[in-house]
Structure 1
Amino acid sequence: MIKLFESKKDLILTAIGVQDGNIEIEEDKVIFPLFAATLDAERIIAYEQFCTLLNQMALKSKTASSKKTESDNPKFTFRVFLIRLGMIGDEYKMIRKILLERLEGNSAFRSGSKPEKVVVE
């Protein structure tokens, strides 16, 4: 879990609007002391779902790397990570929106904009 968190730490902290933070692991639980106590209901749901899916991914993973993800488009990179976590479909639309709103870049295209079509004659 720690390696998975560390690999995406910068993106996660930016997404939730925190400057610095870590997770804590105890015998039978993972603690995320990153969230403000004054969150609205939608954010609480989004962060709870994110933490749950992150934990599930960590439990299913046989190996994980703590190597930080370098990206020139953090919004796209984090969106792809959310999809890997299982946040697919309309049921996660609001959650993805909340988690991506603070990140810079284009969530749809890795290069930042729609690629132009090339006409071959």
Structure 2
Amino acid sequence: MTADRSRLIDYIQQMEEAAQQATDFIVGLDKTTFLADTKSQMAVSMALVIMGEGVARILKLNPHIADDHPEIPWMTIKGMRNLVAHDYFELEFEVVWKTVNEDLPQLLAQLRALRHIHAQGE
């Protein structure tokens, strides 16, 4: 395995781990509890930042991956990272809740498949 492929797999795995952590942070919480829980909000927000950083690194290493795998919302993930990191006070935690509950489960499956594809040598 080449060094670039190994780094790519590492970045995908870091994104996958952060997405899993974000979903784990809200286990047992309902929307009302999450919206009142600053600690959970900050934990999930940091996981979103990590995912966005992963996208930035992946796109730098392999700029064509977004074209090759359009099923993954690369720029949306990066945009969420930018919102959390640069406009935190504008962040709508209802959107964060929806993202973690509705979008991350599918993204997790996509990242696992992508990591497997690249580990096999795509």
So what's the TM-score if we normalise by structure 2?
0.27
Question: Rg larger in 1 or in 2?
Answer: 1
Q: Which has the higher contact order (CA 8 A, sep 6+)?
A: 2
Whose helix proportion is higher, 1 or 2?
Answer: 2
So what's the TM-score if we normalise by structure 1?
0.27
